[in-house]
Structure 1
């Protein structure tokens, strides 16, 4: 028995054909030459690059299963099919441009390909969000990097939420002051976000900016930045999440929300683990759900060039005959983030340790939490050993 494939509907044929025609429009040709090219049936860059200039000049047509539909698309595109004669000079120009388009990495037919040199320059030019602690910024390469997912974890009271609030304020520092001039999304799963504390840090940030712009205006005639603490609070989008189902739904909605608020430059989740540790019994399914969530955060970071900061709790892990502190969600979760920063105590000093990063060396720095936010610690002692 002979089986016949299902025939595509006219709408599907016309859509795919129109998409194919659009490939020829990529070439920087004059409208008349482009019209001759498409009228002759050469709509794909690959088909153009595979013929000789003499074939193009002789007006050799490609076979189409439905030439009448091609003509309708050509008429729709304001292309004349009456005169498809291509001269030798025009054929040579067409082939030259088609070959360049097929071979040039920036115009690759397979979209998404990049070379390592461009990636290096792109990474070096990525903006970073300062933590207001220069020692911490130094080990982070200048601050929290955009287009990355950074996990920050530590014991209760170490300052995770303080760092989250600080970043939601600092991301709004204007470009004139070396900032990003963006907005923040703060996802609170524990109820630890305090708007009064955010106001304190915002007031301190405004004072620092006024001091900086005053100096620049005095010595370099730069314009002074006018910004109020109320403006900073207005640019923090706060979401209170009370269950893991709400958390999953919100993460799925973030792409649309950020598309409508394109100035968002940081997404902070405080914390990523809370509801999944309390309410989720199926560990295998929990791992899959969290992995999918991490992939969505990575996609958001890359697509919108923003920073994603995931705050994490700690748990106990049995290792080498004793229980030790470790970040929650296990070893599988540790591979889900680009950078991992562990916060710990060394006596009375708070320290941050770069535990994992593809571009940053392992290092530690002390920091302190003051009424004005994160600042450098008065102590110069360093500790490389992590928790």
Structure 2
């Protein structure tokens, strides 16, 4: 049960969400003193909130049902899990080399973090995935829709249109059509359709971001065709507005768990674009992905984009089933493509 459903005042619910307490279970082991400190309320008010949460669990069938049977679900054998993995779908990046190191593309049912320096092409890759997830089933795609969560204001609808046009051209060129079939496909695949299938959310604070993540389950339930959720970037508001690092870690952990659950429950891909920061290691400053070491455990896969001379490369830094490897790629007028010697350098790492 979500805390937004508790019979509390709007202010109290907002404070709970902002502090990272999004579910009743997250309140089960907290003391009134600690909760009062986290919410900046009196200890009596904190005790009252915990009392209401406890009472709600007694009447929530999903939490209290026949000796808590409802809590434990989804038991399966390792053999069943292996068979399921063989049928997991992937979303192409439009770069064959990049797809190869990813095992065929961005994996559904998993959370993938993609980070790198400014100008390396993170947003371009995010837009490319939002378009490619819509490639029809008969063309080897998922025929799905995308959710794009923009925290920085970097989403460019004109660029989406341009990449969608290029995607359509590639699909038509890669298939052998009879003249009649070609014309029919040409008429059915329009850039406007691709744009219609991208649900765009602009968030301007970390509280909005948390609230939206909590809302996604309901939204996706009503829009089952959604096959990818992209957050660009997951970092921005949490670097700007947080001074309490322990609180930030707790909030981010809760958000990561929610995204993992979405990926598994709805068999979709979650892609988190991340920024870089500097870290003092072995006597020198080095670039590393933002949000610290604890955040690195929140994602199933981690891909780092970097410059090597004048060429862009993607490095698979973390994966449960794939070896670490690098692959070159280009950002072109058509979107993400196989690396070319004519790639223009934007930023050096």
Tell me, in whole angstroms, the C-alpha distance in 2 between the residues paired with 1:198 and 1:141: 25
Q: Which residue of 2 aligns with 1:235?
A: 197
SS across alignment from 2:320 = coil
Counterparts of residues 1-387 of structure 1 (less than 5 Å): 111-213=73-175, 215-217=176-178, 224=185, 226-379=188-341
Q: CA shift at 1:111, angstroms?
A: 3.7
SS at match of 2:298: coil
Q: Which residue of 1 aligns with 2:38?
A: none
- Matched residues in 1 for 2:121 and 2:236: separation? 16
User: Does the 8 A contact of 1:353 with 1:362 survive in 2?
Assistant: yes
RMSD: 2.2
1:217–1:224 contact (8 Å) kept in structure 2: no
Q: Using the alignment, how far apart are the partners of 1:280 and 1:247 within structure 2? A: 14
- Alignment length (residue pairs): 274
TM-superposed CA distance for 1:212, in Å, is 2.8
TM-score, scaled relative to structure 1: 0.68
**4+ runs deviating over 4 angstroms:** none
* Alignment correspondent of 2:69: none
Distance in 1 between residues matched to 2:155 and 2:73, nearest whole Å: 41
Structure 1 residue runs of 5 or longer lacking an equivalent are: 1-11, 21-109, 380-386
Query: What per-residue deviation string (whole Å, max 9, x for no partner) do you get for residues 20-68 of structure 1?
Result: 9xxxxxxxxxxxxxxxxxxxxxxxxxxxxxxxxxxxxxxxxxxxxxxxx
Cα offset, 1:112, TM superposition: 1.3
Separation (CA, whole Å) in 1 of partners of 2:227 and 2:127: 14
Quote the offset at 1:217 in angstroms.
4.6
- Once the two structures are superposed, residues 303-336 of structure 1 have per-residue CA deviations (whole angstroms, 9 ceiling, x without a partner) of 0000000000000000000000000000000000
Task: Label 1:217 to 1:305 Cα distance change in 2 as closer, same or farther (>3 A).
Answer: farther
Cα deviation code 1:245-264 (max 9, x no counterpart): 11011001000000010000
Structure label with greater radius of gyration: 1
- Bigger relative contact order, structure 1 or 2 (CA pairs below 8 A, ≥6 apart): 2
Q: Give the 3 Å change call, closer, same or farther, for CA 205–285 of structure 1 in structure 2.
A: same
Describe the SS at the equivalent of 2:270: strand
TM-score by length of 2: 0.75
